[in-house]
Structure 1
Amino acid sequence: MKFNLVAILLLFFISCSDDDRIIDDLALEGDWVLSNVICFCSFTEDVDFSLTTINFDPRRGMVTVDHESDYEFFRKSGEHFYGGQANRINFSDGAVFFFETQGDQLTLTFEDNPDIADDEVTYIFNR
């Protein structure tokens, strides 16, 4: 029984490679600067979204978030592992975001929980 489990796990790891991406994240790679947050919330006029930057490193499956202001948008500062499928990014805390890239713009939309009112939020980043 143990041998079968080890054989299956070994086969799984051998079959995975960098060319077999589960998430289409090559378009995410690199540095992004927050330009806008769209939500059922309000911000003071002096909020500078551009003080929040992110960097996706698909080789490591990590996104690094940096906030140079009192506000924390998207994720807390630091490195976060991510995974997912197609255009969905999953984090270990259960947060899921849909992403779309168009040229130099990245849109990350939090997956809405229908049981929670007004949790919709979209982050717009630019290169």
Structure 2
Amino acid sequence: MKLKILAVLTLLFISCSNDDPLIADAELEGEWILSDVVCYCGFEPDIDFSLTKISFLPSKNKVIVTNESEYVFFRDNGEHIYGGQANRINFSDGSVFFFETNGEQLTLTFEDNVDIADDEVTYIFTR
């Protein structure tokens, strides 16, 4: 009987394995400075995006956001827990971002909700 239970548990464990990789966030580690926001929105010509900084701590699944501006572009000041898979970052409020790194540039693109018009926004950060 114990052998049958062990065989069933082994089959369940193997069938439940996840083929999707965990979030590939090692390249996110460190401080990033906002350089541009691309969206269907208007900004004053002299807006200084560089007053928003983020620091990824992948070992703790945290991102620390510092806004020194009167505007909040990416997230509120403070620590935010994230998770995800592959190139997707999920935050506890349900927001999801696709990320791509290219050398010293990080692009975070908000996952579009097809039911909401004009919610597309892309944040471009540099080191």
Q: Does 1:113 align with 2:113?
A: yes
Q: Tell me how many residue pairs correspond in the alignment.
A: 109
What one-letter code is carried by the residue in structure 2 that aligns with 1:56? F
Cα RMSD between the aligned structures? 1.4
Q: Does 1:72 align with 2:72?
A: yes
CA deviations on 1:1-33 (whole Å, 9 max, x unpaired) are: xxxxxxx9xxx9xxxxxxxx7100000000000
TM-score by length of 1: 0.83
Distance (Å, rounded) in 2 between the aligned partners of 1:62 and 1:30 = 11
Among the aligned pairs, what percent are the same residue? 68
Report the alpha carbon displacement of residue 64 of structure 1 after superposing the two structures with TM.
Answer: 0.3
Distance (Å, rounded) in 1 between the aligned partners of 2:44 and 2:95 = 26
Unaligned runs of 5+ in 1: 1-7, 13-20
Unaligned runs of 5+ in 2: 1-8, 14-20
Aligned to 1:124: 124
- Give the 4+ runs in structure 1 shifted more than 4 A: none
Report the alpha carbon displacement of residue 73 of structure 1 after superposing the two structures with TM.
Answer: 1.0
TM-score by length of 2: 0.83
Which structure has the larger Rg?
A: 2
Report the alpha carbon displacement of residue 75 of structure 1 after superposing the two structures with TM.
Answer: 0.7
For 1:23-102, list aligned pairs within 5 A. 23-102=23-102
